[in-house]
Amino acid sequence: MRLKDLGERALLGKLAPIGYPPGAPLPPGDDAGGVWVGEVAWLLKTDGFLYREVALLGMGPFEVGFRGVAATASDLLCKMGRPLGFTLGLFLPPDLEEAFVLELVKGAAEAAGRLGAVLLGGDTNAGEEVALTVSGFAQAEVPLPRRALPGDLLYLAGDRWGRTGAAIQAHYQARDLGAYPEIREAAFYPLPRLELLSLKGLLRGGLDSSDGLAETLWQLSEQGVRVDLEALPLYPDVLAFAGDEALAHELVLYGGEEFEAVLAVPPEQEAQVLARAKGAGLPLFRAGQVSEGEGVYFLGTPVKRRGYVHF
């Protein structure tokens, strides 16, 4: 079967178990892979993308390099891994200007540095168009899988919900973001949150949201639970950008590229989670809860599954 007929999710489902070790800190197909070394989980993650697919209007190579490290770091941080270092795999047309590549790598270094991590080199190859992979490794004392149990509360970390979706929509509509500085910042410099690590040991599960919140919640529900959204974060600028509440909800549910965390919190840990997050300065939004069953619902209405896939 051809990849375009199989679909990316089905392909990844078939690839993930190949060569993956039994007894690993995280199951195959999770946001990152890992091995135990003594009592510490060492996580490794690679994320790749084409430059033209992620460079929104106004973004340059610096922002795309930044975004690349952010994407990989977000996967590691959602697993409670503290990122240590990143490498880049670059495919570059020979006609490309040197300055472009330097800016790309400087953007990657900026994101790594703001996460307390470093760049550890990489590799360059000639390619038809600019494409990148970013790999990162991290240490996790209590690695956090994609998981939720009935009764768990659903929290959204960070404040990029709907904002990155708005920026992507602005790109396709060639709409200027001058009046929306926080939307622009969220999409151009989506720094994942080291503050997540303050919740170590308190959570049931965590997922990186990069294909959109709805898709992420559907992936959570595939663990064998029903997800009920009771509220969505709605920032004034996202509401103003969207024009009305229903359109703003669409941006929150189907935006993508947030590089924020979806967290399953056991009810008995909620008070401590909120206290620690407050102490660390991590925004947390209580979005709903998890119960027995299947599917994803928003105020009782089914949430359609639609997210970005490459095939």
**Region of 83-91, 173-181, 249-257, 267-275 interacting with a second copy (CB under 8 A):** 83-91
Beta bridge partners of 48: 133
Q: Determine, following the binding rule CB under 8 A, whether residue 32 of this chain makes contact with a second copy.
A: yes
**Closest separation in Å from C-beta 64 to a second copy:** 14
Q: Are 11 and 311 in contact (CB under 8 A)?
A: yes
In angstroms and rounded to an integer, the radius of gyration of the C-alpha atoms of the chain is 19
**Region of 27-35, 144-152, 169-177, 281-289 interacting with a second copy (CB under 8 A):** 27-35
Number of residues interacting with a second copy: please give it, by CB under 8 A.
76
**Closest separation in Å from C-beta 69 to a second copy:** 9
Q: Determine, following the binding rule CB under 8 A, whether residue 311 of this chain makes contact with a second copy.
A: yes
Q: Which of 56, 76, 80, 105 binds a second copy (CB under 8 A)?
A: 105
Q: Which of 64, 70, 78, 119 binds a second copy (CB under 8 A)?
A: 119
- Between CA 72 and CA 32 the distance in angstroms is 9
- Site residues (CB under 8 A) for a second copy, limited to 130-159: 131, 133, 135-137, 139
| 228 is known to lie in a ligand binding site | no
Q: Determine, following the binding rule CB under 8 A, whether residue 23 of this chain makes contact with a second copy.
A: no
Q: Determine, following the binding rule CB under 8 A, whether residue 55 of this chain makes contact with a second copy.
A: no
**Region of 47-55, 140-148, 215-223, 243-251 interacting with a second copy (CB under 8 A):** 47-55
Beta bridge partners of 46: 135
- Between CA 133 and CA 89 the distance in angstroms is 5
Q: Determine, following the binding rule CB under 8 A, whether residue 92 of this chain makes contact with a second copy.
A: yes
Q: Pairing mode, if any, of strands 260-265 and 153-157? A: antiparallel
Q: Which has the closest alpha carbon to 196: 248, 129, 265?
A: 265
User: Which residues, including other chains, have CB under 8 Å from residue 14's CB and lie 6 or more apart?
Assistant: none
Which amino acid would we find at residue 34?
G
Cα-Cα-Cα-Cα torsion 225, 227, 228, 229, nearest 10 degrees, comes to 170
Q: Which of 13, 52, 60, 126 binds a second copy (CB under 8 A)?
A: 126
Q: Determine, following the binding rule CB under 8 A, whether residue 113 of this chain makes contact with a second copy.
A: yes
| 159 is known to lie in a ligand binding site | no
Q: CA 201 from chain center: how many Å?
A: 20
Q: Are 83 and 137 in contact (CB under 8 A)?
A: yes
Q: CB neighbours (10 Å) of residue 138?
A: 27
Q: Which of 55, 57, 127, 151 binds a second copy (CB under 8 A)?
A: 127
Nearer to a second copy, 285 or 308 (CB): 308
Residue positions forming the annotated binding site for substrate:
257, 308
